[in-house]
Structure 1
Amino acid sequence: MTPAIESAKKARVAFTTHTYTHDESAASYGLEAAEKLGVAPEHIFKTLVVVLDGKRLAVGIVPVTAQLGLKHIARAAKAKKAAMALPAEVERATGYVLGGVSPLGQKKRLPTFIDASAESVERIYVSAGRRGLEIALAPADLAALTWAEFVPLAS
């Protein structure tokens, strides 16, 4: 059981977990999850970590079919600029490996922003803490568990 799943259990929110065999040669973790789970790609969201103003980290959660708009997340976080965090920074701050970074159960609570498109679907799928493991839950529950705001993030 991963910290992400433990976090959802502890909060007593409704969720389901879904597993698939991850293919190391897959070009996109999220699109691979959508295909193997038979879920529309716009319901699968990726968790990305950025560095704000070169100092602090934040999390952006966007559909796997979209790119994270760095200007959008900087604006949402009231920062001047945002850049993608280095893999080592991501793994150190979240406790997860790339491709398995979950917004839930991270080592450090980071400011978190979810793309506003998530509000239009009943359930979204995010990594449950390792490659090949997804957790599906209501967007409002994800926001509550991560103290996130819904904002336009996709570019």
Structure 2
Amino acid sequence: MKKTNAMRILDGLKIKYETLAYEDDGEHQLARGAAENTAKKLGIDPAACFKTIVMRSESRQIFVFCQSALHEINLKKARAAASAKEITPVKPEELLSLTGYIRGGCSPLGMKKKYPTFIDQTALNYEKIYISAGVRGQQLALSPQDLQKATDAQTVDLIL
């Protein structure tokens, strides 16, 4: 398995992680349910599989949110976490230029720039959580505390 930027960052921080591979069959194109489908393919708890959502505020600032596959992000709570009046998801066609990642392979680690990052507090209920490794077809398993450390993230309530 080829090392991704996310893996290199974790290696540099001496953070332990596991890699898991799954067959990418284009489920990233689904509007909803892609992270849950990934969890099913890997035989892992979808509640512990966290999707990466990149959003933009009214002042054009970019924010990154990590949310369990089983839940939709609460925009009111996302706005509060980001101290923003308005917040909307970035368009899929903007994702690569902003983050260096494509839809279905966006990791909260190793983006082009370091953006304020928020992880839903339910992550702390798990010994390890699963996030994208930065490419379609690969996930990383690591402790939520290690992800928080590697991204300088805050844990907040993001559930509807």
Partner of 1:24: 26
Of 81-90 and 108-117, more deviation after overlay is shown by 81-90
1-structure distance, mates of 2:153, 2:132:
16
Aligned counterpart, 2:55: 50
- Structure 2's unaligned 5+ residue stretches are none
What is aligned with 2:8? 6
Amino acid in the other structure paired with 2:57: L
Match of 2:122 in 1: 117
Identical-pair percentage: 37
Residue 51 of structure 1: how far off its partner (Å):
0.5
Aligned Cα root-mean-square deviation (Å): 1.2
The separation in 2 between residues aligned to 1:44 and 1:53, in whole angstroms, is 29
Q: Structure 1: which amino acid aligns with 2:120?
A: D
How far, CA to CA, are the matches of 2:131 and 2:24 in structure 1?
A: 15
Matches of residues 17-96 of structure 1 in structure 2 within 5 Å?
17-25=19-27, 27=30, 28-96=33-101
Conserved? CA contact 1:54–1:82, under 8 Å: no
* Deviation >4 Å, runs of 4+: none
User: Residue 12 of structure 1 aligns to a residue in which SS?
Assistant: coil
The 3 A distance-change label for structure 1 pair 24 and 9 is same
Distance in 1 between residues matched to 2:145 and 2:131, nearest whole Å: 13
Conservation of the 8 A alpha-carbon contact between 2:54 and 2:64: yes
Q: Within 2, Cα distance between the matches of 1:88 and 1:128? A: 20
Unmatched tracts of structure 1, length 5 or more:
none
TM-score normalised over the length of structure 2: 0.92
Matched, 1:137 2:142: yes
CA drift of 1:54 comes to 4.3
TM-score scaled by length of structure 1: 0.95
Aligned AA (1:47) = T
Residue identity opposite 2:13 in structure 1: A
**Residue type matched to 1:103 in 2?**
P
**CA shift digits 1:45-75 (9 cap, x unpaired):** 0000000124111001000111111111110
Distance between the aligned counterparts of 1:151 and 1:102, measured in 2? 18
